[in-house]
Amino acid sequence: MIGTPLPPEAAVLLVPLAAAALLALLPGYRLSARINVVASALSLLAAAQLLFHRPGAGALLFVDDLNVVFILLNTLVGFTTSVFSASYIGHELEIGRLTRGYLRFYHAMYQLMMFGMNLALVANNIGLIWVAVELATLTTVLMVGIYRTHEALEAAWKYFILGSVGIALALFGTILVYLAAQPVIGEGPEAMVWTALIGRAAEFDPALLNLAFVFLLLGYGTKVGLAPLHAWLPDAHAEGPTPISAVLSGLLLNVALYALLRFKMLLAANPGAIAPGPLMVTLGLVSLVFAAFMLYRRRDIKRMFAYSSIEHMGIIVFAFGMAGPLGNFAGLLHMTMHSLTKSAIFFTVGHIAQVKGTQRIAEIRGLTESHPVLGWSLVAGVAAIAGLPPFGVFMSEFLVVSSTFARAPLLALILVFGLLIGFGALLLRVTGLAFGTPEGRTGPVRASSLPIFAHLALVLGAGLYLPPGVVAWFQNVARLLG
């Protein structure tokens, strides 16, 4: 995309949309997989251009420091997942779990999903954000059920039902925001343009904004995977293809969080509205503590890491609920580190499930002996997501805990309690998975480990050194969030 007249904000939308249309027509797996990777790479290049080219806000699209963080992360993980997916899905084809017809559908849906998520991130219209999140949800629902087993279809149906309830609540909240803006801005699409809304949010009816945020928090909170709205997430991770598990944990949860943050900014700009922080802090802590205990009861390796995603989204929502320059900075950093780390873990788990022929934890032992690369990659990934130094998650969790201790020591104690419970569960599980006498099949690993190493290297590098430019960028976003 560099050097072309197509604006980068348009390229991050048109590239995946055009690729989806093309992939729907191509029957060959190898060509489709390569086009999927190339399209994802072009989307990443277009997103990188947004660091240097910031278009003016229009009625439909706009770009600022906040959504550039999300867009870059979205396209980066989308690209690395497409690389991982090429070999992973090829193996699924070889063993007969997928057919060539389903693969054509899979690649087209992958790019359509990327289009939906990118659209939600660059949209300047709160109604368009809602439509884009719904599009991304529907495509992932279809991909979760792609194996067509009873369990996969049940998981997809559960995801669809609970996601529909959440998106309906979010729609009602969006309508209430429009009704609050209408007397001030006037009727029509202008009353749904976010840049217009944030400029005059102080004049809106605070009672309507308060009610709207409750519905938006419940609606988009369902997509974020916050407890007790999380029930779809473990099933979707366990039964869908592993690349979709990586995208769900690393990207789609962030997109719903982004929508929630935009509405939080509206509420914060109205002096008569309730403070959104306490609601987010409460849901964040409930999710953290609940998921930490649930980690001990999992018997499926992908389901276990799904609960780890619920735990970490709780930490992120908690950090943004505490707000302030340090809380918002910690939330952004933790979101970035979690996306990179959790997707690397799911890449590893996908390879493990293929070589072992199972996802059951009890049937996987001694990976560092039987498959050293996978075993030590899993150990590194779990060490990173558990918050051990020198990985970047340690830095972000340290900032969340230290900033909370300075402002609300009691909340900090609950936070640390949840973190320790989750740490214990992950340590218990990874010990059995990685060490001891190998059990189960010992087939060769036939897929690339490069995406795993790339993500873990980024997380390790961020823990050792954050470039001043990145720090300044995140600090500016933290100030925008209030």
Q: What SS3 string covers the chain? A: CCCCCCCHHHHHHHHHHHHHHHHCCCCCHHHHHHHHHHHHHHHHHHHHHCCCCCCCCCCCECCCHHHHHHHHHHHHHHHHHHHHHHHHHHHHHHCCCCCHHHHHHHHHHHHHHHHHHHHHHHECEHHHHHHHHHHHHHHHHHHHCCCCCHHHHHHHHHHHHHHHHHHHHHHHHHHHHHHHHHHHHCCCHHHHEHHHHHHCHHHCCHHHHHHHHHHHHHHHHHHHCCCCCCCHHHHHHHHCCHHHHHHHHHHHHHHHHHHHHHHHHHHHCCCCCCCCHHHHHHHHHHHHHHHHHHHHHCCEHHHHHHHHHHHHHHHHHHHHHHCHHHHHHHHHHHHHHHHHHHHHHHHHHHHHHHHHCCCEHHHCECHHHHCHHHHHHHHHHHHHHCCCCCCHHHHHHHHHHHHHHHHCHHHHHHHHHHHHHHHHHHHHHHHHHHCCCCECCCCCCCCCCHHHHHHHHHHHHHHHCCCHHHHHHHHHHHHHHC
Tell me the pLDDT tens digit for each residue of 152-177. 899 999 999 998 899 999 999 999 99
Supply the pLDDT for residue 5.
64
Q: CA–CA separation, 244 vs 236, rounded Å?
A: 9
Decide: 315 and 227 in contact? Cβ < 8 Å.
Answer: no
The tokens of 171 are what? Answer: 């729609």
Query: Mean per-residue pLDDT for 315-320?
Result: 96
Region 347-365: what's the mean pLDDT?
Answer: 88
Give the other-Cβ count within 10 Å of 3's Cβ.
5
Q: For tokens 């017809």, what's the residue?
A: 101
Phi then psi dihedrals of residue 300, to 5 deg: -110, 130
How many angstroms separate the CA atoms of 259 and 129, rounded? 7
pLDDT band of 38, cuts 50, 70, 90: very high
Domains of the chain, by residue range, sit at 275-482
Structure tokens at 371: 């498959």
Residue 111 pLDDT > 60 = yes
Q: How confident is the model at residue 297 (pLDDT cuts 50, 70, 90)?
A: confident
Indicate the average pLDDT of the chain: 90
Angle at CA of residue 72, ends 69 and 77, nearest 5°:
120
Q: How far apart are CA 251 and CA 233, in angstroms?
A: 13
- Expressed in angstroms, the distance from the first to the final Cα of the chain is 34
* Each residue's pLDDT tens digit, 246-262: 888 888 899 999 999 99
Can you tell me the mean pLDDT for 184-197? 90
The pLDDT score that the predictor gives to residue 371 is 87
Q: How far is CA 21 from each of CA 36, 38, 112, 115, 400, rounded to the nearest angstrom?
A: 11, 15, 9, 11, 43
CA dihedral for 471, 473, 476, 481, sign (positive or negative): negative
Q: How far apart are CA 436 and CA 402, in angstroms?
A: 37
Q: Which residues contact 100 (CB under 8 A, 6 or more apart)?
A: 27, 29, 93
What pLDDT was estimated at residue 3? 44
Specify the pLDDT at position 185: 92
Mean of pLDDT values over 20-48: 91
| pLDDT tens digits, 411-442 | 999 999 999 999 999 999 999 888 878 877 77
Question: Which tens digits make up the pLDDT trace of 125-144?
Answer: 999 999 999 999 999 998 99
51-58 long-range contacts (CB < 8 A, ≥24 apart) are 53/7, 53/8, 55/7, 55/9, 57/124, 57/195, 58/124
Q: What is the mean pLDDT of residues 312-338?
A: 95
